Amino acid sequence: MKHFTSIKQLGDLKEALAEAAYVKANPFADQALGRNKTVLLVFFNNSLRTRLSTQKAALNLGMNPIVLDINQGAWKLETGRGVVMDGDKSEHILEAIPVMGSMCDMIGVRSFARFESRDDDYNEVILNQFIQYAGKPVFSMEAATRHPLQTFADIITIEEHKTKARPKVVMTWAPHPKALPQAVPNSFIEGMSMTDYDFVIANPEGYDLAPEFVGNAKVTHNQDEALAGADFVYAKNWAPYREDIYGKVVNYDMGWTVTAQKMALTNDAFFLHCLPVRRNMIVSDEVIEGPRSLVIPEAANRVVSAQTVLKRLLQAL
């Protein structure tokens, strides 16, 4: 694996899950693999879980992690070519990226959708510049359209808790005061397409995700219908993909909040969310604190997910 930007690059999911289970049971078994190797973690956006879990994964593998917060202490970066740099941006990303690449063995990048241009977001302009100019393996720590390390942790968590071979998994939109990217739901759909779970997406009208990600997945605009008999409920907000309302908040319907009443429609489902989550917008206190909430083990599995991927990248160096 040269770069890691989509969960599909894991290849055979069963093999990846077996590898993840091994990593979880033997977190320090591959310390020699990362000795004298440096991983640079570049954040254009905030993070708690990704920042901690990727560093922890690197340390478990014997690597040296360096964290660079672009917006705190680094020069402000220009990303457009041909721009006359007479404003507040002191450095161009096309110099910054190869410099970063010269100081590490691999680079993780977090760069969210900006919602300025759907084409720019869906062309992954920032992530692809790293792949083109870093000269080192690049892995996504959440880009504009995908969050594969999150999805891998989600699937590991579902596998650890499922009680039937083919659970019903519902990914439901839920309300949020700000426009959020589509990376997590897009990636989750990609991940579900690698399983044989009974997978359903529920979202309001106007919130259908990009057809290239939705593919043949079942989509309904009726949340209650989707939740009936669900074994896992994955809640997430996302802003619309539709061109005329791309990245805008057009629906604030609190009837989509995942409450105990909603969970009562399910087959005593487990509750999942990638975090951070806004309580009593996305999910009620009662549900997230309840016995079927998996949000903490799900977050903890981010270490396992990152370590499995970093291990593969190290093996390919």
Interface with ligand CP by CB under 6 A: which range of 2-10, 91-99, 159-167, 271-279? 271-279
- Closer residue to ligand CP, CB minimum distance, 100 or 184: 184
Sign of CA dihedral 316, 213, 297, 295: positive
Interface with ligand CP by CB under 6 A: which range of 97-105, 126-134, 241-249, 274-282? 274-282
Determine which residue in the list 30, 34, 44, 47 makes contact with ligand CP, applying CB under 6 A. 47
198-202: strand order across its sheet: 218-220, 198-202, 168-173, 232-236, 270-272
Cα angle 70-75-81, degrees, rounded to a multiple of 5: 90
- Closer residue to ligand CP, CB minimum distance, 235 or 274: 274
Angstrom distance (rounded) from CA 147 to CA 7: 8
The H or E element containing residue 127 is helix 125-133
274 counts as binding ligand CP under rule CB under 6 A:
yes
Give Cα 294 distance to the centre of its chain: 17
| DSSP codes, 76-119 | PEE-STT----SS--EEHHHHHHHHHHT-SEEEEE----SS-HH
Cα angle 274-65-236, degrees, rounded to a multiple of 5: 10
| Rounded least distance, CB 226 to ligand CP, Å | 23
Determine which residue in the list 3, 37, 49, 262 makes contact with ligand CP, applying CB under 6 A. 49
Interface with ligand CP by CB under 6 A: which range of 61-69, 132-140, 209-217, 273-281? 273-281
| Rounded least distance, CB 180 to ligand CP, Å | 11
Determine which residue in the list 26, 29, 35, 48 makes contact with ligand CP, applying CB under 6 A. 48
| Rounded least distance, CB 302 to ligand CP, Å | 7
- Closer residue to ligand CP, CB minimum distance, 150 or 193: 150
| Rounded least distance, CB 50 to ligand CP, Å | 3
| Rounded least distance, CB 282 to ligand CP, Å | 13
Q: Are 150 and 274 in contact (CB under 8 A)?
A: yes
142 counts as binding ligand CP under rule CB under 6 A:
yes
- Closer residue to ligand CP, CB minimum distance, 47 or 111: 47
- Closer residue to ligand CP, CB minimum distance, 133 or 308: 308
Interface with ligand CP by CB under 6 A: which range of 41-49, 66-74, 84-92, 263-271? 41-49
150 counts as binding ligand CP under rule CB under 6 A:
yes
Q: Residues with Cβ < 8 Å from 228, sequence gap 6 or more?
A: 265, 266
Q: What are the backbone dihedrals phi and psi of residue 209, each rounded to the nearest 5 degrees, phi first? A: -80, 175
The H or E element containing residue 17 is helix 13-25
| Beta-bridge partners for 139 | 4, 108
50 counts as binding ligand CP under rule CB under 6 A:
yes
Interface with ligand CP by CB under 6 A: which range of 18-26, 42-50, 97-105, 116-124? 42-50
One-letter amino acid of 109? V
Q: Are 247 and 115 in contact (CB under 8 A)?
A: yes
275 counts as binding ligand CP under rule CB under 6 A:
yes
Residues that bind ligand CP (CB under 6 A): 47-50, 142, 150, 274-276
